[in-house]
Chain A
Amino acid sequence: MSLRNYIDKIKPNFEEGGKLHAFRSVFEGFETFLYVPNTTAKNGVNIHDSFDSKRMMIMVVIALCPALLFGMYNVGYQHFALAGMLSQASFWNMFWFGFLAVLPRLIVSYVVGLTIEFIVAQWKHEEIQEGYLVSGFIIPLIVPATCPLWILAIAVAFSVIFAKEIFGGTGMNFLNVALITRAFIFFAYPSVITGETVWVVDHAICGLGADIDGMTAATALGTAATTAAAPAFSMDMVWGLIPGSVGETSVIAIALGALLLLYTGIASWKTMLSVFVGGILMALVYNTWGPDNAMAQMPWYEHICLGGFCFGAVFMATDPVTSARTEVGKWIYGLLIGMMAITIRVMNPGYPEGMMLAILLMNCFAPLIDWCVVQRNVNKRANRINK
């Protein structure tokens, strides 16, 4: 318990009038990060569980780890594959290459986001809110590994301030912060997040890998949007050995995270399942009656495996803050996300990936869905009385 003693020893410095008072919120943030707060309510009967929102966030971060680790490996794998050096590179070569490519983005995401959170918390005399732990982890996973750091920093600052802090901070945002970051990059700097040149790192990092010029690799969805035929389904799409944003390629790694989230009850199985059901239904509809383009003719299992569909369904749609909260609402919300995502992919070749826009759109409608569900219940009960 020496850490506990040390924290207690330095604590007075941070209280009102202490010399390090300016860092009070930072100190409190770290203290509650390390230890469960020992303050309890003084009146009324309360049932307390040590499972507070910090623990919950950490569970999500753990669930994201398989996707991150696999994503790092895949970044290296794609680089060596494009350079034609796959046979010479070992597993650790590939992993270290990807690690070095992704790590700066993870650091920038956390440093920029947490700095803004700390400043706002200190300014408003509030405790640091822990919501950014998850957002900061997700952001590097949903951008390409080549995304310039300064663009990432601007996008993170924009989304933390305009999607979260001005609505009152963690738990008050109605739009998913990580997705707003991606949407900002998507609309402000489209050249770094779309096209054929951004998905594979094309230069050596710290002596690992090689500089490759003029070689490009499109994502499978990008190919399907621009050519007449969709790429044939392969097991690589399930394992995730395809070009794409860092964390979204592997269905297996995302499934591991999904199992943890469902087992611990953090993510709603209703939302998750209904996103998949909506996506599969819509894909089948377009297979049968859709327009004559490659995206519409793509089989449903390929739609599900490619792009950010799985990642979005598991980690973004289920975000408890921005999703619908009523039980019936979750079904409607999830179904519409799945259907919208496939519809955007098929109907608009300009946006080969519809998941981001579908989730953001339904984030806006989630309160309306909840309101309708609650009103329906109110009316039903009112009718029962009047009868």
Chain B
Amino acid sequence: MANKNNEALKQPMWVNNPVLVQILGICSALAVTAQLKPAIVMGLSVTIIVAMANVIISLLRNTIPNRIRIIIQLVVVAALVTIVSEILKAFAYDVSVQLSVYVGLIITNCILMGRLEAFAMQNGPWASFLDGIGNGLGYAAILIVVAFVRELFGSGTLFGFQIIPQCFYEAGYLNNGLMIMPPMALILVGCIIWFHRAKNKDLQEN
């Protein structure tokens, strides 16, 4: 049993990563990764919400009527998203402004509904909690890698601090404007998937 819990936590971090393998949550991965800080906040918010929603649904799983389970899942997720959104507004206002609608849109993030349907409805609360943490962190890891590259080459900064020295700019270096745009984020996610498939050959399609 301990082994299964271990799997639930570790699998989605890399081998069965929700972004890389199931291609879920791409929309927000493109939208909030222009800078590192909002990407980390977004990743953590999703991690917390998936974990909590997984636990709640897992506890309720035997009492939820099958026909209205999607509505109940949505109510739980919506409540959690609202709480997180309010907390961000109270304690990290500037980040919540940067994330704008995307915090509210966590409710539509496919990773959430996917985990609730596929895992929490069949498993106990502790396993569900670990599964939520694993998937959330797997999602956050991709966001952070993409945001790192985008902020470094698109703005020359990390967390808002200038990394690329001023003398580079004086010598003619320019920030890559395409990195700021969502299409480049899609290409970067594509590159990570490429690398991931190359490492996990059993995932390669013929």
Contact = CB atoms under 8 A, between A and B. Distances in A.
B177 interface: yes
Interface range for B: under 10
A189 B176 contact: yes
A166 B197 CA distance: 14
Interface in B1-26: none
A151 interface: yes
Interface in A161-200: 162, 166, 184, 187-192
Interface string B96-139: 00000000000000000000000000000000000000000000
B198 to A, nearest CB: 12
Interface in A140-164: 148, 150-151, 154, 162
Contacts of A187: 177-178, 181
B46 interface: no
A187 B177 CA distance: 6
Contacts of A154: 176
B177 A148 contact: no
For the complex, would chain A's binding face be called helix, strand, loop or mixed by DSSP majority?
A: helix
A188 B172 contact: no
Contacts of B203: none
Contacts of A184: 178
Contact of A189 (B174, B181, B187): B174
Interface string B169-198: 000101011110100000100000010000
Contacts of B176: 154, 188-189
Given A148-B172, A151-B174, A188 B187 contact: no
B82 to A, nearest CB: 37
A253 B151 CA distance: 44
Contacts of B172: 148, 150
A190 B177 contact: yes
Contacts of A162: 187
For the complex, would chain B's binding face be called helix, strand, loop or mixed by DSSP majority?
A: helix
Greatest chain A CB density within 10 A among B172, B177, B178, B179 is at: B178
A255 B137 CA distance: 59
A192 B174 CA distance: 10
Nearest to A184: B178
B174 A191 contact: yes
Nearest to A166: B194
Contacts of B181: 187
B179 to A, nearest CB: 7
A192 B178 CA distance: 14
B196 to A, nearest CB: 15
A154 B181 CA distance: 17
A167 to B, nearest CB: 12
Contacts of B174: 151, 189, 191-192
A184 B174 CA distance: 14
B154 to A, nearest CB: 9
A162 B187 CA distance: 9
A316 B181 CA distance: 26
B156 to A, nearest CB: 13
Contacts of B194: 166
Contacts of A151: 174
A211 to B, nearest CB: 16
A151 B176 CA distance: 10
Nearest to A149: B172
A235 B172 CA distance: 37
B59 to A, nearest CB: 46
B187 to A, nearest CB: 7
Nearest to B181: A187
Interface of B: 172, 174, 176-179, 181, 187, 194
Interface of A: 148, 150-151, 154, 162, 166, 184, 187-192
**Smallest CB-CB A-B distances: 6 pairs:** A188-B178, A188-B176, A187-B178, A188-B177, A189-B174, A148-B172
15 contacts: A150-B172, A151-B174, A154-B176, A166-B194, A184-B178, A187-B177, A187-B178, A187-B181, A188-B177, A188-B179, A189-B174, A189-B176, A189-B177, A190-B177, A192-B174
Given A187-B178, A190-B177, A191-B174, 7 more contacts: A148-B172, A150-B172, A151-B174, A162-B187, A166-B194, A187-B181, A192-B174
